[in-house]
A and B are shown apart, each in its own frame.
Chain A
Amino acid sequence: MTTRLRVLDDGAWISVNDARKVRVSELWRLDAPDLCECELTDLVVENFQSVGVDGSTVEVRVYGQCIACGAAGTTGWIPVGRVRGGEFAELDRSAVRRVRR
């Protein structure tokens, strides 16, 4: 089954199969040493840059800022959820996300 993944409305949200599933303005905890020197980046998601899939894992690259240290930039690929049986399940928002590639 094909899953349609898109970044839409100037990077405001991720569409999965024509439904809005992941949105900007959330705070994500990231293990992203390339982005900042904080032990964990406290990232406010400002814009989605791109969306892709690795196996069943939906991944995004986002522009955002660490609200602890102020470093801003575009991340590597970060998991946001999984597609199983054609249904998307978002990762728990409190989960620590690791840049995968």
Chain B
Amino acid sequence: MPTDVENWKSEVYGSEIRDRLFEFAEQGFDSIPDDERDAWFERFKWWGLYHQRNGQEGYFMMRIGTPNGVLEPGQLRVVGEIADEYARGPGTNPIFGDAYADFTTRQSIQLHWIELSDVPAIFEKLEENGLSTQQACGDSWRNIVGNPVAGKDGQEVIDAWPVISDLNERFKGNDDHSNLPRKWKVSVTGSADGSGQGDINDLAFEPAYREVDGEDVVGFNVRVGGGLSRNEPRLARDIDVWVSPERVPDVAGGLSALFRDYGDREDRYNARIKFLVDEWGPEKVRETLQEEYVDFELESAGRDVREEYTYNTGAGERNDLVGVHDQKDGANFVGLNVLVGRMGAADVLDLADLAAEYGSGEVRISQRQNVIVTDVPDDALDEFLAEPLLEHYSPEPSPFMRGSVACTGTEFCSLSIVETKNRQVRFARWLKANVDLPEGVDEFHIHLSGCTASCAQPQIADVSLRGMKTRKDGDPVEALDVGLGGGLGDEPQFARWVTQRVPVDEVPGAIANLVESFAAERDEGESFRAFVARHDDDELDAFVEPEETDYEDPMMHNTKRTWYPYAEEDAMEDAPGVPGSPAGD
């Protein structure tokens, strides 16, 4: 039997949601019929609007999909202005203030505390400036990811940006692909560093060479069915297909249609294509694609460049895109660390100005929640690097700042079990002040995800932290499971969960002890990931020695029972109510 969500989608979905959304915005939140709220909130996701968790009724998270993380000149300023004007709610974040933007692990931007009545004005401003929230959430083509410096990267094998732009044009607002069984995440990468993280996407195009008519041609190998969510992480499976850049839309559209037609619409937990690939195997995926969805002969996989991958591998060069790097046109791109991906609105505006002053005005977002200012000429580099804003958003951060990734957490998210972003900031600051990595170790990735949805991609970090609960002195407290040794590269590996339910105030001590053991026991020049690989789970569990330190955690309690974890009066009964409604304000 189809689920309620499928029934709602079959009634109204896709582009047609917009008219009703605008009617509700004009007439007020209370105009949404009481018995249709679940349905409309589900549909609004297709337009990038996600109702915030309970206690925050009437406020929305708005996600702006920026394909490949590319913000063209002027667009970051628009985002900053919208954040400053509209992303202000009744709660103040003690670290980030009243208005901020979040850069996400899928190269998008999230704003919070958006009121429904403001949506038409925000959409108008976004669209006037070439930005959109369309399909940023919901069951369809999501924001396409890749190497954010596509087209500029000195390490590029093929420029993937025209391919990504084309896919975005074809599959955003495309009625044939607007209602899929579940989300559809696509990665297209043209560089040899693996920075598109294709392995953890539903569909991945990775650079590969193939001989065509006696000549080596650069195109893409295709992998299908990766993803991290729900305790069921999968690496995308090789379906033995190479495709030329011109035919990427045919193969991508064919696979999207295959998912549309064969994906499970009766059980949302089983709906992602990774489960269909489990069931069918990659050979049947290929056969079905060939027989039913493309009208040309598929080529077998070409020679890939996975051996050269460095991104998120835990060793070697360029594990991220932070720092100063060469562009192929002789200019530079400068990756700036944005701790946990969150930047105050005033800083967003300052950064937009700096990008225009020193570069082309373009800014790009990486999958490690950082920003990249492109097109900085050599003669402007020193002056740019000396800008005060870069003291906070550094191109040369501490490894603990640089390696931190965190999801939204209980501040706004319904699914999360623990508070995340502010906690990860506090962890990073404490580790920077108290822990030294062994000589030669410059990268140490710690990802904190509030639940098994894995939005912070915890399974591909050196240290993976995942929201849990435990009891401490009999009282329930927020806790984290600890996983170790995850990373991507030629041979990707998910973290092994070695220690469970560490009270959050003992996590920094646990990481300090782990690093101390690593320093004492590592072989010469050994990476952390290699160190983890040669120990069994019990040995690793012993290295993770939870310990109270002078780190203090102000959010040990059940933050989900608050209307806002950092409010002075934080109880649910103190929630502000729906904005603009007689019961709210």
Contacts and interface: CB of A to CB of B under 8 A. Distances in A.
Interface of A: 4, 6, 8-13, 15, 17-20, 23-27, 42, 44, 46-47, 49, 65, 67-68, 70
B235 to A, nearest CB: 21
B470 interface: yes
A33 B273 CA distance: 35
A87 B209 CA distance: 63
Contact of A25 (B5, B416, B471): B416
A44 B414 contact: no
A68 B476 CA distance: 11
Contacts of A20: 54, 414
Interface string B476-501: 10010000000000000000000011
Nearest to A9: B414
Contacts of A24: 414-415, 417, 451, 560
B391 interface: no
Contacts of B500: 70
Contacts of B38: 4, 6, 8, 15, 18
Interface residues of B, number: 35
A59 B4 CA distance: 18
Interface string B4-40: 1100000000000000000000000000001111100
A12 B414 contact: yes
Interface string B409-436: 0100111111000000000000000000
B476 A11 contact: no
Contacts of A6: 4, 38
Given A8-B5, A25-B560, 15 more contacts: A6-B38, A9-B414, A11-B269, A11-B415, A18-B34, A18-B38, A24-B414, A24-B451, A25-B418, A44-B417, A46-B417, A46-B451, A67-B471, A68-B471, A70-B501
A67 B475 CA distance: 12
Question: Closest 9 CB pairs between A and B?
Answer: A12-B414, A12-B415, A44-B469, A18-B37, A25-B560, A25-B417, A20-B54, A18-B38, A9-B414
B572 to A, nearest CB: 10
B414 A67 contact: no
Which of B38, B230, B410, B471: most chain A CB closer than 10 A? B38
Nearest to B418: A25
Nearest to B45: A9
B581 to A, nearest CB: 14
Contacts of B451: 24, 46
A41 B69 CA distance: 45
Given A13-B414, A44-B417, A67-B471, A23 B4 contact: no
16 contacts: A4-B35, A10-B229, A10-B268, A12-B53, A18-B34, A18-B35, A18-B38, A23-B54, A23-B414, A25-B416, A25-B418, A25-B560, A26-B558, A47-B452, A70-B500, A70-B501
A67 B453 contact: no
A18 B560 CA distance: 20
A59 B529 CA distance: 44
Contacts of B36: 18
Which of A6, A9, A47, A70: most chain B CB closer than 10 A? A9
B164 interface: no
Given A18-B36, A67-B469, A67-B501, A25 B558 contact: yes
Interface in B434-471: 451-453, 467-471
A10 B453 contact: yes
Contacts of A67: 468-471, 479, 501
Contacts of B558: 25-26
Nearest to A72: B231
Nearest to B415: A12
Contacts of A47: 230, 452
B526 interface: no
Given A44-B468, A65-B468, A25 B410 contact: yes
B362 interface: no
A9 B4 CA distance: 12
Contacts of A18: 34-38
Given A4-B35, A25-B410, A27-B476, A46 B54 contact: no
B296 to A, nearest CB: 38
Contacts of B416: 25
Contacts of A65: 468
A60 B34 CA distance: 23
B516 interface: no
B240 interface: no
Nearest to A68: B471
B350 interface: no
Contacts of B72: none
A11 to B, nearest CB: 7
B42 interface: yes
A65 B469 CA distance: 9
A4 B417 CA distance: 26
A46 B453 CA distance: 10
Given A18-B34, A24-B415, A46-B452, A13 B471 contact: no
Nearest to B417: A25
Nearest to B451: A46
B42 to A, nearest CB: 7
Interface string B34-69: 111110001000000000011000000000000000
A35 B414 CA distance: 25
Contacts of B53: 12, 23
A18 B36 CA distance: 7
B72 to A, nearest CB: 33
Contacts of B467: 25
Contacts of B34: 17-18
B357 to A, nearest CB: 42
B220 to A, nearest CB: 30
B469 A23 contact: no
Which of A15, A26, A46: most chain B CB closer than 10 A? A46
Nearest to B54: A20
